[in-house]
Structure 1
Amino acid sequence: MPTSSHSRAGVASVCAAALTLSGLLLTGMATAQTAAAADPAGYPNVRINEVTSSNSDTVELYNTGSAAVSISGWKMSDDSFSPQSFSPSSGTIPAGGFVTFDSPKGLGDADKLVIYTSGGTVVDRVEWATGRAKPAMARCGGDGNGAWVTTTSSSTFGAPNAAGCPSSVPAASRVRLNEVSSNGSDTVELYNGGTSAISIGAWKYVDGDASHSPASVSSSTGATSIPAGGYLTFDSTIGLGDNDSVFLIDAGGNSIDSATWAADGAKPSYERCANAIGRFRTAVTATPGAQNSCSGNTGGDGDGGGDGDGGPEAGELLGGGGSLTSGCTPEAPSGTGSAPSSALAWPGGLDVTIADNVCAFTTSTGTEGRDLSGLAFDPAHPSVLWAAKNKNWLYKLVKSNGKWIPDATWSATGKQIRFAGGSGEPDAEGLTVGGNGHIYVTSERDNTDKEAPKNTIMEFDPASTGSTLSPIHQWDMTAQFPQLDTGSKDDANLGFEGVGYVPDSWLTANGWTDPRTGTAYNPAAYPLHGSGLFFAGLEWDGSLHVYGLNSDGTYTTFGSIPTSKASVMDVTFDNGTQRLVATCDNTCGGTHTFMKVNASGALVPDVTYTKPAVMPTDNLEGFALAPASTCVSGFREAVWSDDGVYGFGAGSSSYGHALYSGSFPC
């Protein structure tokens, strides 16, 4: 449900961390501006994407923009010779396309590569230490925008880099150039998107003037490290101007990040939108030391829109979407709060894509596309994603052309679910796949009587035929939550929001203490409960309630567990991390708390991650991690569902979509 009721006093707000930063300038840029007259539109969008110093000494360029860019007459240099012409595979790089060429002069083990327009303007630059470009150096985490790392497999010239990327990006590569100003102060801002502080004591930076030597970051700031999730700013001692660049280099001489802009592109500021991961755009107001506002941005492709990191941005967001025509009525998010200051940046890849068709989940009970809530991968069938819709519908989804669509062999339009006896309309919020392969769905209330709570868990056999499903078993825990039975539909709508099945084997292997006995959990003491317990998330206060669901229709209560979150919207057990994950939507800033069993046998929060920054801050009520068996190059899929299908609002590519797909480390 959209969490409008979270404004009530009973739900605590969660505080956000404050972040910080500081400034720089250059004069005498007439030469660069004259050269810029010959620069093609969109040249800042072209980025070096991959390079090898083995055998062919091949270079790959990638166009992050939305329009083709001519590279006719462009040149390259390394650290030992003047710019020379090269012969690219094509004289034009299409939008989102690649061009390759073999270096006209060999590239060494420890070298640098600089690309120039025909007018002599620097487009991009990359440096590497001994052996770092063997088999290749490539941007990982997004073509044209990811972090520079050494590939772990064969090169991927002329194709996306994902196949050659390592399983994890080095911690230092999580530091990004986040904002630049050439408007008098000549300020550079760095942001650490990693989970630990990064030492920058020996790091350097340089601008687009090939005659300049790199300058010390630490000498310009007085700082020697950047805290996790923190900002660092400094005024350039080299100076920044029009048609210029900033390149960040670590202590080993390896490139970390870069930004390039055209005339006036960094006046008053050139910043990433979304903050920390988006593409660079000219901003109306500089925000040094703080999150980029991304309001009133100008420019874009061909006008200072060089990517530098290049994740999608609000309004052009995410890719893979479609325009909203008819069939659903998006609902703006409500109940937005802040992420806790202790939350760490999303550890997965920077890229997130729209993963469904527009207005894909309309039903016969209403034309809205809203209310896709709980999500769960099927451990036995990793290519299947189950989804619950608040208006009493269940979907079996499969991947097709990069999108999750209803499995037509099960039901192309989803199946309605009922309470036991075939009556009522469950307000289906969460779901999980049990050890028997059945689907367990939570409901907060009966949609035919919205003022009364009905906190239940229902078991459905997915092999059942017909367009309407009735539960094999149903367990009603409503009486345990009298605080929800006030006659208010808002209170009634703060019950079971998510549920996760946790195998007994994990609970016993990790030494979980049975709250009923105060001793080690012994599954044999509960002979009718099956092979695991069910953890239901209560939206009211963010607590988890643990149940053994017995085959005779009764249940055993194992008490409640705090999650440190104001609310819980989805619960999932992830075998890959060996953690139970409690998800909170925008009420908590869009966060995921991974919980472990501690040395005392209690289930406690371990670490909390934010959602990927590029995603909209909506009522993202569903979250699922693909099984570890699906891992490719060290990553697996993560999926979120928006029960308001609002995206970034009317006119954005995400408007009318419910599902988002990203990645998470294996």
Structure 2
Amino acid sequence: MPTSHSRTGVASVCAAALTFSGLLVTGLFAAQPAAAADPAGFQNIRINEVTSSNNDTVELYNSGSTAVNISGWKMSDDAFSPQSFSPSAGSVPAGGFVTFNSPKGLGDSDKLVIYTADGTVVDRVEWATDGAKPAMARCGGDGTGAWVTATVAATFGAANAGGCPSSVPAASRVRINEVTSNGADTVELYNGGTSAVSIGSWKYVDGDTTHSPVSISSSSPSATSIPAGGYVTFSSGLGLGDNDSVFLLNSTGSTIDSVTWATDGAKPSDERCANGTGWFRTAVTATPGGANSCSGSGGGGGGQTGQLLGGGGALTSGCAPEAATGTGTTPAGTLAWPGGLDVTIADNVCAFTTSTGPEGRDISGLAFDPANPSVLWAAKNKNWLYKLVKSNGKWVPDATWSATGKQIRFAGGSGEPDAEGLTVGADGHLYVTSERDNTNNTAPKDTVMEFDPAATGSTLTPVHQWDMTAQFPQLDTGSKDDANLGFEGVGYVPDSWLTANGWLDPLTGAAYNPANYPLHGSGLYFAGLEWDGSLHVYGLNSDSSFTTFTTIATGKASVMDVTYDAATQRIVATCDNTCGETHTFLKVNAGGAIVPDVTYTNPAVMPADNLEGFAIAPASTCVNGFREAVWSDDGIYGFGSGSSSYGHALYSGTFPC
């Protein structure tokens, strides 16, 4: 549940190269392509500096949060067809630079176009006579700044600040500010300077290299100048599509600004955030002719960063979302989300209000049913379980099980478990963690409860219950906040994975032998502690006793959910905004210990809320190399009041198979 605590000293978790079935994969997965054969994040590669002298050097900059492979990419100028080039490195690191020398030379008045190996236009710049001497550079921000002729020595391989003039010309303060390919094909220009700029002879062109530039005045005869701090809009006569670009040229043919986007990136629009200066991102609402809304979509990147889709419906009475708390920093070495960039709101508004929890503390633990992946189980903090099924693309309560969820109790039918974590055991039963009894919320009650989902009635009581409260005296201070930092997540991990990967039993110092623990079933349970981000490994015995095996450091400040993913052969420890909305995948290392392997962020379009639940669908559900991933918001806050995500608890995206 949301708290106001903060964490420090989060350990870094760096990516490693892993081998699966003989295939080498960098990090953990090959990320989703933005187009058929284009590498993920290609829109974040921007031409950052170019010179038509001194070996005709070109600099590329990566504005994204993960490296982009540029193998096989090509370039052209205004006289020759696309040619291969030899970059200083095969990929451009996040926030880094790669340089190369033009294979055919660049002229005093020329243009440069960069293509992916599949022929998609990535970026383009044009300059007039001597415009690229000593260099043409983006000034005011690598990757986003205005194109200006450098006045001092070029700065290839480094930030452009040293090569930029002290004052950017007024015309270079005009920026493409918003663009839509949603039927109207509208382009908005913004003047960030202090004086009006004449644009009567300016032109624009799209990403089709067979098209010639078109004058703005032919599309909008009244667009002759832009006042200081003002806007001009015009409709593209060239048409704008998916995976397209707009390039703005002044009267001499020099590039003023550009934007490139992927599929649906300009629907409803692609806009700069902050207005006039920031990176482009997909908007929830187009605002041509006015300040950009900058709400409901992710940031960071020069092109498409995904969309948050769905929502709708008015916020109903009895549902009171709460703002996120406890926001912390993202661990160093974290990689960008490897799945799809788009995310869908996946539930009906205010769908999980109950008699014990109408105020906004909502869904926490999530788990796909491995025997029936069309079922998603969910735990609500104040002692409720839901069986969810898909209906019209949304996860809704299964009316044949309970349209309003089933209430759970502790053993003996008493109390209100503060249900947080949820997993499905090999027997098909639900194993739920609780931090405390909400009827006495100042005292911890860190327990794991086993429920039979086939049991009848509207209230479920445990088949077995295991109480580990005594192991965590630091939580028993009389403070409800401390009591609220116990078991947040739990994941069932099969013995077969532990033995196949050579896990050393911490209790014996030898290879784990399940036969040594005859009452524990066929796997162990990994409970995540919010207090310090550790995992606690238990054998849950059929006589209601338990075996404590070890504690595992995840390298994270907190853990909010735990899952075992058979497809990647990893245990996943999830943290919410406390540690940057991240997921750490853990493996068994060569020494037989379970250790962090790689950490990923959420898709950029998602809100930074108390997203406490995370589940990945089994590989059996894969379509075109991807499967569903689902997140739950404990506070149903979304992007706040008035946003399309306000009052919703579930988000759906994709994850590699």
Tell me the TM-score normalised to structure 1 length: 0.66
Counterpart residue identity of residue 436, structure 1: D
Of 255, 258, 268, 2:120 maps to 255
| 1:280 is aligned to 2:145 | no
Counterpart residue identity of residue 501, structure 1: Y
In 2, Cα distance between equivalents of 1:189 and 1:649: 34
Larger displacement relative to structure 2 (329-338 or 574-583): 329-338
Q: Could you report, residue by residue, the CA deviation over 1:99-158 in whole angstroms, capped at 9, with x for unpaired residues?
A: xxxxxxxxxxxxxxxxxxxxxxxxxxxxxxxxxxxxxxxxx96xxxx72325xxxxxxxx
In 1, Cα distance between equivalents of 2:620 and 2:72: 40
In 2, Cα distance between equivalents of 1:435 and 1:301: 58
Q: Could you report, residue by residue, the CA deviation over 1:528-576 in whole angstroms, capped at 9, with x for unpaired residues?
A: 0001000000001100000000000100000101011110000000011
Of 43, 47, 52, 1:176 maps to 43
Partner of 2:217: none
Of 366, 390, 409, 1:399 maps to 390
**5+ residue gaps in structure 2?**
15-30, 49-58, 100-105, 125-175, 180-185, 193-256, 294-300
User: Contact (CA 8 Å) 1:595, 1:606: kept in 2 or not?
Assistant: yes
Of 353, 373, 398, 1:362 maps to 353
SS of the equivalent of 1:148 reads: coil
In 1, Cα distance between equivalents of 2:505 and 2:481: 33
In 2, Cα distance between equivalents of 1:303 and 1:217: 41
Q: Give 1:364 shift.
A: 1.6
Of 30, 34, 40, 1:147 maps to 34
Paired residues for 1:396-475 under 5 Å: 396-475=387-466
Partner of 1:616: 607
Partner of 1:634: 625
% identical equivalent positions: 63
In 2, Cα distance between equivalents of 1:480 and 1:518: 22
**5+ residue gaps in structure 1?**
18-139, 151-169, 182-186
| 1:204 is aligned to 2:75 | yes
Q: Give 1:258 shift.
A: 6.5
Cα distance change, pair 272–486 in 1 and its aligned pair in 2 (3 A): farther
In 1, Cα distance between equivalents of 2:483 and 2:425: 26
User: Contact (CA 8 Å) 1:429, 1:443: kept in 2 or not?
Assistant: yes
Counterpart residue identity of residue 43, structure 2: R
User: Contact (CA 8 Å) 1:533, 1:547: kept in 2 or not?
Assistant: yes
Cα distance change, pair 419–199 in 1 and its aligned pair in 2 (3 A): same
Paired residues for 1:469-484 under 5 Å: 469-484=460-475
In 2, Cα distance between equivalents of 1:588 and 1:531: 33
In 1, Cα distance between equivalents of 2:348 and 2:631: 14
SS of the equivalent of 1:505 reads: helix
Paired residues for 1:5-20 under 5 Å: 5-6=5-6, 12=9
Cα distance change, pair 567–283 in 1 and its aligned pair in 2 (3 A): closer
Q: Could you report, residue by residue, the CA deviation over 1:600-619 in whole angstroms, capped at 9, with x for unpaired residues?
A: 11001111111111111111
SS of the equivalent of 1:491 reads: helix
In 2, Cα distance between equivalents of 1:296 and 1:362: 27
In 2, Cα distance between equivalents of 1:280 and 1:270: 12
In 2, Cα distance between equivalents of 1:270 and 1:16: 36
Q: Give 1:465 shift.
A: 0.6
Q: Give 1:322 shift.
A: 3.4
In 2, Cα distance between equivalents of 1:574 and 1:601: 19
Alignment size in residue pairs: 496
Cα distance change, pair 296–445 in 1 and its aligned pair in 2 (3 A): closer
In 2, Cα distance between equivalents of 1:273 and 1:249: 14
Larger displacement relative to structure 2 (252-261 or 590-599): 252-261
User: Contact (CA 8 Å) 1:376, 1:432: kept in 2 or not?
Assistant: yes
User: Contact (CA 8 Å) 1:376, 1:385: kept in 2 or not?
Assistant: yes
User: Contact (CA 8 Å) 1:3, 1:587: kept in 2 or not?
Assistant: no
User: Contact (CA 8 Å) 2:532, 2:556: kept in 1 or not?
Assistant: yes
In 1, Cα distance between equivalents of 2:372 and 2:544: 27
Q: Could you say what the CA RMSD is over the residues aligned between the two structures, in angstroms?
A: 4.1
Cα distance change, pair 294–149 in 1 and its aligned pair in 2 (3 A): closer
| 1:265 is aligned to 2:189 | yes
User: Contact (CA 8 Å) 1:585, 1:591: kept in 2 or not?
Assistant: yes
Q: Could you report, residue by residue, the CA deviation over 1:272-316 in whole angstroms, capped at 9, with x for unpaired residues?
A: 999x9886214555667xx779999984599999x9955555xxx
In 2, Cα distance between equivalents of 1:423 and 1:174: 52
SS of the equivalent of 1:596 reads: strand
In 1, Cα distance between equivalents of 2:561 and 2:381: 13
User: Contact (CA 8 Å) 2:10, 2:555: kept in 1 or not?
Assistant: no
Counterpart residue identity of residue 495, structure 1: G
Q: Give 1:488 shift.
A: 1.0
Cα distance change, pair 298–660 in 1 and its aligned pair in 2 (3 A): closer
In 1, Cα distance between equivalents of 2:539 and 2:600: 29
User: Contact (CA 8 Å) 1:205, 1:215: kept in 2 or not?
Assistant: yes
User: Contact (CA 8 Å) 2:12, 2:333: kept in 1 or not?
Assistant: no
User: Contact (CA 8 Å) 1:646, 1:656: kept in 2 or not?
Assistant: yes
Cα distance change, pair 231–408 in 1 and its aligned pair in 2 (3 A): farther
Partner of 1:2: 2
Tell me the TM-score normalised to structure 2 length: 0.67
Q: Give 1:6 shift.
A: 2.8
Q: Could you report, residue by residue, the CA deviation over 1:413-450 in whole angstroms, capped at 9, with x for unpaired residues?
A: 00000000111100000010001100000000010111
